[in-house]
């Protein structure tokens, strides 16, 4: 609420206090001639101040409650962000390890192909139909 | 009526609640996870058996690296979900 954020807390307390003092003066000290002269405006203004002051006190209390809740959530989120970053590092590391293992495996398989399969290169003719079937399967569907 | 309207505006101003808390969206699990899976390698006409074997081997590597990527994202989602659900309690 902008009024609560704009004005310092003591101003809000002062408005309520002024209202209470004014109301007390307007109803209890009515017999004093100086006060009696302005009794109606004092009563009206004081009651307005009490109502507005109470409203602002409620808003202030509500605002403070929310500030506490926000701080609580911010603290929880900070913990969550730290945990999230830690978990991310772990996952990334795991995925990198798996990818490296896969690459190493491919290198070993390629070495095996050069050593064992290459011998059959002259004995085996790969038909173009096989190549077509392979390439069609390897192509991403559009 | 004029004063009542002013009072109403003042009272309604209490309804404006800005939410100052913003949660940072968790980062992706590594740069590689954001890269698209590469296309599979094709064979040339008149290819030799060893080249076919190598191409198949390369394509399996491509598949498994893509599978690792998918597994990583699934794990990432599950972990981040747990962390943020725990934070929301």
- Residues within 8 A of B (CB atoms), A 20-59 only: 55, 59
**Alpha helices for chain A (secondary structure H):** 2-6, 9-28, 33-37, 39-112, 128-138
Q: What is the pLDDT along chain A (142 residues), one digit of tens a residue?
A: 777 778 888 988 999 999 999 888 888 887 888 778 888 888 899 999 999 999 999 999 998 998 999 999 999 999 999 999 999 999 999 999 999 999 999 999 999 999 999 999 999 899 999 999 999 999 988 8
pLDDT in tens, B20-30: 778 889 999 98
- How distant is the Cα of B2 from the closest Cα of chain A, in angstroms? 16
Of A2, A62, A99, the CB nearest to B13: A2
Quote the ipTM score.
Answer: 0.74
The answer to whether the CB atoms of A88 and B33 lie below 8 A apart is no
Which pTM does this prediction carry? Answer: 0.71
The answer to whether the CB atoms of A138 and B86 lie below 8 A apart is no
Whether A79 and chain B come into contact, CB under 8 Å, resolves to yes
Contact (CB, 8 A) for B25 and A67:
no
pLDDT in tens, B6-47: 877 766 665 655 667 788 899 999 888 899 999 999 999 989
- Contacts of residues A62-68 at CB distance under 8 Å and 24 or more positions apart, as own/partner, are A62/A1, A62/B14, A63/A1, A63/A4, A63/A5, A66/B17
Q: How many domains does chain A have?
A: 1
**Hey, of A87, A101, A107, A123, which one would you mutate to test binding to chain B, going by the most B CBs within 10 A of its CB?**
A87
CA B85 and chain centroid, separation: 17
**Hunting for tokens 């991310």 — which residue is that?**
A88
Structural domain that includes position A127:
2-138
Q: Domain limits of chain B?
A: 47-89
**Hey, of B7, B9, B15, B30, which one would you mutate to test binding to chain A, going by the most A CBs within 10 A of its CB?**
B30
Q: What is the pLDDT of residue B15?
A: 60
């Amino acid at each position: 609420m902008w009024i609560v954020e704009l004005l310092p807390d003591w101003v809000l307390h002062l408005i309520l206090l002024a209202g209470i003092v004014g109301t007390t003066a307007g109803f209890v000290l009515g017999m004093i001639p100086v006060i009696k002269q302005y009794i109606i405006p004092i009563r009206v203004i004081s009651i307005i101040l009490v109502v507005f002051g109470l409203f602002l006190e409620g808003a202030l209390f509500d605002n403070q409650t929310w500030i506490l809740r926000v701080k609580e959530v911010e603290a929880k989120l900070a913990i969550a962000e730290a945990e999230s970053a830690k978990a991310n590092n772990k996952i990334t590391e795991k995925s990198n390890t798996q990818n490296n293992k896969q690459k190493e495996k491919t290198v070993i398989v390629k070495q095996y192909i050069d050593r064992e399969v290459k011998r059959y290169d002259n004995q085996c003719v790969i038909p173009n139909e096989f190549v077509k079937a392979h390439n069609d399967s390897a192509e991403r569907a559009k | 009526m004029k004063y009542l309207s002013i009072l109403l505006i003042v009272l309604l101003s209490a309804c404006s609640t800005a939410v100052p808390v913003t949660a940072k969206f968790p980062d992706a699990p590594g740069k590689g996870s954001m890269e698209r899976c590469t296309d599979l390698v094709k064979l040339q006409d008149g290819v030799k058996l060893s080249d076919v074997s190598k191409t198949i081997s390369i394509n399996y590597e491509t598949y498994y690296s893509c599978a690792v990527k998918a597994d990583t994202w699934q794990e990432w989602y599950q972990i981040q979900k747990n962390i943020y659900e725990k934070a929301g309690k």
